């Protein structure tokens, strides 16, 4: 709160950080944090909108983004997905918008971006229904397995995970839902229903469709794509794996198999 307090805090933090940035006030520091998180939320919302457009245009959003990322300046790569999670990105845009209103400032841009990401789990549920319909199955009474419920890969933190709304949305429309996550043994969905993680092989054998929400490295993706009859891939986890025709419905790309991929691996600057 004072220059002397800032110096003392910086000296303490210097023991655990290589670089400590001293700000002019706690408000400025807080807004800096909000800027970083809201920046990501807005860009994720943009590529999510682009993914929805690519589905209608019969284009592959992942190919489009990878090609754009070959530009060595002026572009930062963001990828679409089933929504945003964690304790910051889903919350901070609404907090900043609320704070702005206290100064008679309405920021519809920030709110719209947050609303786009908030709606993505519902789109994932619609994709599962579309995939099942391709097999002449209805979402109602279908068996659906969800892979990954943590809010991002390779962690056990499931706070505000989009998987909560995906699971609840599938169940609300009549599906029997189970999940597998090597890092999250139990999980409560957005409707308050608590479920326990199912072993991967058992989930694949049981499910009419598998939907990938979080692509943990610890999940055996060779088993997923080698033995699952139907997969809804929301995070491009199928890239690099052999898939069969009309086995995989990808968010932002539609039906695809390995032979469809015109872009593989990381972007090249050649």
What residues are annotated to the active site? 88
Let me know: does 222 contact 215? Beta carbons within 8 Å.
no
Place of tokens 């655990």: 16
φ, ψ of residue 81 in degrees (nearest 5): 180, -170
Let me know: does 187 contact 180? Beta carbons within 8 Å.
no
Query: What's the gap between Cα 44 and its chain centre?
Result: 9
Secondary structure of residue 203 in the 3-state scheme: helix
Secondary structure of residue 54 in the 3-state scheme: helix
- CB-based contacts of 46: which residues, under 8 Å, 6+ apart? 78, 113
- Distance, in Å, from the CA atom of 267 to the CA atom of 71, rounded to the nearest integer, reads 9
DSSP H or E run through 86: none
Tokens of 86: 């964690």
Let me know: does 190 contact 184? Beta carbons within 8 Å.
no
Angle at alpha carbon of residue 132, lines to 129 and 136, rounded to 5° = 125
Report CA dihedral (7, 13, 18, 20) to the nearest 10 degrees: -40
- Distance, in Å, from the CA atom of 41 to the CA atom of 113, rounded to the nearest integer, reads 7
């Amino acid at each position: 709160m004072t220059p002397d307090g800032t110096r003392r805090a910086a000296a303490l933090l210097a023991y655990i950080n290589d670089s400590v940035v001293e700000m002019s006030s706690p408000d400025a520091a807080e807004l800096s944090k909000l800027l970083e998180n809201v920046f990501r939320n807005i860009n994720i919302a943009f590529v999510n909108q682009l993914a929805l457009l690519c589905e209608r245009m019969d284009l592959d959003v992942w190919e489009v983004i990878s090609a754009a990322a070959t530009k060595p300046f002026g572009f930062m790569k963001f990828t679409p997905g089933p929504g945003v999670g964690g304790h910051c990105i889903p919350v901070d845009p609404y907090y900043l918008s609320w704070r702005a209103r206290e100064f008679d400032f309405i920021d519809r841009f920030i709110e719209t971006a947050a609303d786009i990401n908030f709606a993505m789990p519902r789109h994932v549920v619609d994709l599962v229904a579309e995939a099942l319909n391709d097999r002449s199955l209805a979402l109602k009474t279908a068996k659906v397995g969800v892979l990954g419920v943590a809010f991002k890969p390779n962690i056990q933190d499931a706070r505000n995970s989009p998987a909560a709304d995906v699971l609840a949305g599938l169940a609300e429309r009549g599906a029997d839902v189970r999940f597998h996550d090597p890092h999250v043994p139990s999980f409560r969905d957005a409707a308050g229903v608590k479920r326990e993680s199912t072993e991967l092989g058992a989930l694949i054998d049981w499910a009419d469709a598998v939907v990938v929400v979080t692509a943990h490295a610890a999940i055996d993706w060779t088993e997923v794509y080698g033995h699952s009859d139907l997969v809804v891939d929301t995070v491009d986890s199928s890239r690099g794996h052999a898939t069969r025709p009309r086995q995989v419905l990808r968010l932002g790309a539609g039906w695809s198999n390995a032979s469809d991929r015109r872009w593989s691996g990381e972007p090249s600057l050649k």
